[in-house]
Amino acid sequence: MKSNSTLVVGGGVIGLLGALELAGAGEPVVVLERAEAGRESSWAGGGIVSPLYPWRYDSAVGALARWSQHYYPQLAARLLAATEVDSEVHVTGLYWLDLQDESQALDWARRESYGLRSVALEAVREAVPPLGSGFSSAIYMPGVANVRNPRLLKALRAALQAMSNVTLLEHSEVQGFLYEGERVAGVRLESGEIRAARVVLSAGAWSGQLLETLGLRLPVEPVKGQMILYRCAEDFLPAMVLAKGRYAIPRKDGHVLVGSTLEHVGFDKTPTGEALASLKASAEELLPALQEAEVIGHWAGLRPGSPDGVPFIGEVPQYPGLWLNCGHYRNGLVLAPASCELLKNLMLGETPIVDPAPYSPAGRLG
Query: Is the per-residue pLDDT at 1 higher than 80?
Result: no
126-182 pLDDT, tens digit per residue, is: 999 999 999 999 999 999 999 999 999 999 999 999 999 999 999 999 999 999 988
In this prediction, residue 123 carries a pLDDT of 97
Q: How many Å apart are CA 324 and CA 281, to the nearest integer? A: 39
Mean pLDDT of 324-336: 96
37-52 pLDDT, tens digit per residue, is: 988 889 999 999 999 9
Q: Which of 358, 334, 293 is CA-nearest to residue 45?
A: 334
Query: Is the per-residue pLDDT at 79 higher than 60?
Result: yes
In this prediction, residue 31 carries a pLDDT of 98
Q: Which of 105, 100, 165, 97 is CA-nearest to residue 137?
A: 97
In this prediction, residue 162 carries a pLDDT of 97
Q: Which residues contact 359 (CB under 8 A, 6 or more apart)?
A: 60, 310, 311, 312, 313, 314, 339, 342
**Can you give the pTM of this predicted structure?**
0.96
Q: How many Å apart are CA 339 and CA 13, to the nearest integer? A: 11
199-226 pLDDT, tens digit per residue, is: 999 999 999 999 999 999 999 999 999 9
Strands 294-305 vs 183-189: parallel, antiparallel or unpaired: unpaired
156-169 pLDDT, tens digit per residue, is: 999 999 999 999 99
In this prediction, residue 2 carries a pLDDT of 54
282-327 pLDDT, tens digit per residue, is: 999 999 999 999 999 999 999 999 988 999 999 999 999 999 999 9
Q: Which residues contact 76 (CB under 8 A, 6 or more apart)?
A: 86, 87, 88, 89, 147, 152, 155
Q: What's the chain's average pLDDT?
A: 96
Domains parsed from the chain with CATH numbers: 6-54+151-219+308-359 (3.50.50.60), 94-142+221-305 (3.30.9.10)
Band (pLDDT 50/70/90 cuts) for residue 240 is: very high
**CA-based Rg of the chain, rounded to a whole angstrom?**
21
Query: Is the per-residue pLDDT at 329 higher than 60?
Result: yes
